[in-house]
Each structure stands twice: as structure tokens, then as C-alpha cells.
Structure 1
Amino acid sequence: MVSLVIDRRFRGPPNSGNGGYVCGCLARHVAGDAEVTLRAPPPLERPLDVLTASDGAIELRENGKLLATASATRIDVRDIPGVSCEAAEEAVARTPYDEQTHDLPGCFVCGPARGHGDGLRIFAGPLQAGAVPDKPVVFAASWIPHGSLSGEDGYIAPEFVWAALDCPTGYCSVGARHLGLKGNETALLGRMAARINRRPRPGDRCVVTAWPTGREGRKLFAESALLSSEQEVLAMARTTWLLVDRQVQLGATT
């Protein structure tokens, strides 16, 4: 049996793991593209069991309680918009949240309260209106991965690539006025599928871009991509977010 312990550094809400990071940890046990469904908030700093179910799916459990499942899939995100590092840096200046207005300022990926070298500090903001003609809303952020994120092979570990692809899809989904969102809703990641073509190295200039693709009631759908400074698609993802009560987001209730 494999055990997973989520360090407090990798939190999203105050007492549970960042969704993209947890998905990436489970995806390590799946060959190729993977899809992960989060069933309950994965707690921090407690041993969690990683098991293989009878149908071949990977399960994350604590004392028998199912927290997440992962399985092989095939993902092909099309029409990925090219965004330059300069345009992404300009978008960051338009990010809708700061340390006072962010719902989860301590989030490992997008929390403005996290320092350099501690959090990823990916602060996605909207591109200028009309920058991508066929997509009414596109968010982007510049990202230079820190050395502490590298794996044994010298490249950024896969779970951090998943993490980088996560939060920008939440930003753009809640920011999708054309889908009836006001921008002040609270949401949690429910499902994520991703493909990694090539992992960057620490210090590489990268761009994360994300755009909403639809809505069904409480479910918000979005896609994202990680680009190199030369516009190479390093990784791509498809996410489902769930609109939830603020107390659910904080983990006070389930």
C-alpha cells in the first residue's frame, strides 16, 4: 500500500490540499493522460492510502473514506490560444483578486499571501477584450517555476504542472459574465483531466492560460494550457468546478 501525506505547504483551503496538486499526485499512478475526481477535501499532514480498485482505478482514502479517484483518459484540448510572456504579464496586472479580496489567500497556487519560493504565485488576469476572437474570456499569467519544485530528473515535478493548470480555470470560470457569473461566487475544483507533453525546468519562462467552456447549473467547465516562452504547448487540462457555499469552500461543512 502506498501512502500520501499532503504537506501544509500544498494547501488550497486552510485545512485541505490544493485540488490541482492532489490530482497531480494521484495522476502519478496512472500511465499517460489522467482524469481525477475529488470526492471530499483531502486533509493535510495525515497519512492517506493510495489504492488500486478492482476496476483498475486509483483511489485516495482515509480510514476507508473515499477522497478521490483517478483513471486513464484521453484529453485533447483544441484551439489553445497563443499568449506571449509580455501579454501574460500585462494580464497579471488585471488579476481580480488581492490579499484582501482573495477567498483563499493562502492557496499554494494562486494565494497572494504566499511568498516567492513558497507558493506558485500564479495570479491570472483577463486578456484585453477581443484578444482571442473566438473566446469571450481568456485569462493568463506568467510563471517562472522555482527550483524547489523540481523532481529527481531536474524537471518540474508533474504534480506542480497539474497545480499550475488548476487555479487559472477557477479564476476564468467565476469571471465568465457571459455565463451568468457575477465574479464573487465561491467554487471548488471537482474534476480535472490533464496531459503533460513536456515539463519545464526551474527558471523557464512559462505562460498559463485558461478559458471557460460552459456551465450546467452549479458546474462550471474550463480548459487551460501551459505554454513555453516560444508558445510550445507543454501541458493542457480540462476542469469542472462546483459552485459552493463559502463555508463548504473553507471546509467547515461537507
Structure 2
Amino acid sequence: MCGSDREDGLRIFPGPVTGRKQVVASSVLLTEPTTPAVWAALDCPGAFAIGMADGDPILLGTMTARIDREIPAGEQLVVMGWATGSEGRKRYCGTALLAEGGQVLARAAHTWVAPAG
């Protein structure tokens, strides 16, 4: 749902957060905040946080998410991602979906894997 090739995608393209190394963020508008849409919104910034935007191929290994609060429909939200480490070909990151006031609405932890070269 968040890929750039999808007409119906969320169109999330996180950029660097000034002064925060390996942290990215983007605004997002969820007109229908279904569980799949929330998970898609949490997925996208994780890939950007661990280097996908640099052209490095990367595959999602696992993602564990939880929705902490009701997600408001049609409100401008912020989704962010941050790298948390790496081990061999594995890359780890966290993501969060935030309300305008900064409250965490949903969060996720990811393991990404770089294909063997």
C-alpha cells in the first residue's frame, strides 16, 4: 500500500529529520484507518530508515506492530522510522504513527534482510 508504483498507495516518502541520525519522518493521511492501512503506514518508514532510499535492496523479514489508540480518519498524522542496529545482513528498526499532538497511536519493530550478494 505504500509503494511508489501503486495508484492506490499511501504515497509515503519519508525524509531525514534534521539533527537526528538515521531518523526519517513523513506526514500521512489515512482516510480509512483500517488495520492493513495502519500496518502499511508503519512499514514504509522502516525501509527508508535502514537505507532502502539509497538503492540498497532490502526485504522485510518480520514486523511486529500494535495499535495503541484509535486512529483518527482524515487527520494529518506523522509516521516516523529509526534504525536500531544491524547484524550481518539483518537491519533492525522501529516505526511509530503519531497524532498531531505527538501522541503515539501505533508502533512497530522490524527486521529487514539484505539479499546475499
Question: Structure 1 length as normaliser, TM-score?
Answer: 0.43
**Where does structure 1 lack aligned partners over 5 or more consecutive residues?**
1-107, 150-155, 176-181, 247-254
Which residue does 2:11 correspond to in 1?
A: 121
Is it true that 1:110 corresponds to 2:17 in the alignment?
A: no
Which residue does 1:27 correspond to in 2?
A: none
Which residue does 2:56 correspond to in 1?
A: 185
After the TM superposition, which residues 160-179 of structure 1 pair with which residues of structure 2 at under 5 Å, given as runs?
160-174=37-51
Which residue does 2:25 correspond to in 1?
A: 140
Larger Rg: 1
Secondary structure of 1:166 counterpart: helix
Bigger RCO of structures 1 and 2 (CA < 8 A, at least 6 apart)? 2
Secondary structure of 2:50 counterpart: helix
Distance 1:202 1:235 in 2: 14
Distance 2:6 2:28 in 1: 14
Question: Structure 2 length as normaliser, TM-score?
Answer: 0.90
Distance 1:141 1:245 in 2: 30
- How much does 1:198 deviate? 1.5
- How much does 1:245 deviate? 6.1
Pick aligned residue for 1:207 from 78, 95, 109 = 78
RMSD in angstroms over aligned alpha carbons? 1.9
Distance 1:110 1:207 in 2: 17
Aligned length: 117
Whether contact under 8 Å (1:157, 1:199) holds in the other structure is no
After the TM superposition, which residues 30-179 of structure 1 pair with which residues of structure 2 at under 5 Å, given as runs?
108-111=1-4, 113-115=5-7, 118-128=8-18, 130=19, 132=20, 136-146=21-31, 149=32, 156-174=33-51
Distance 1:162 1:125 in 2: 19
**Where does structure 2 lack aligned partners over 5 or more consecutive residues?**
none
Whether contact under 8 Å (1:225, 1:236) holds in the other structure is yes
Whether contact under 8 Å (2:30, 2:37) holds in the other structure is no
Distance 2:75 2:59 in 1: 29
Whether contact under 8 Å (2:25, 2:78) holds in the other structure is yes
Return the letter of the residue paired with 2:108.
Answer: A
Structure 2 CA distance for partners of 1:202 and 1:245, relative to 1, 3 Å: farther
**Percent identity between the aligned chains?**
41
**Dislocated runs of 4+, deviation >2 Å:** none
Q: Deviations over 1:169-196 (max 9, x none)?
A: 0111016xxxxxx922101100011111
- How much does 1:120 deviate? 0.8
Which residue does 1:223 correspond to in 2?
A: 94
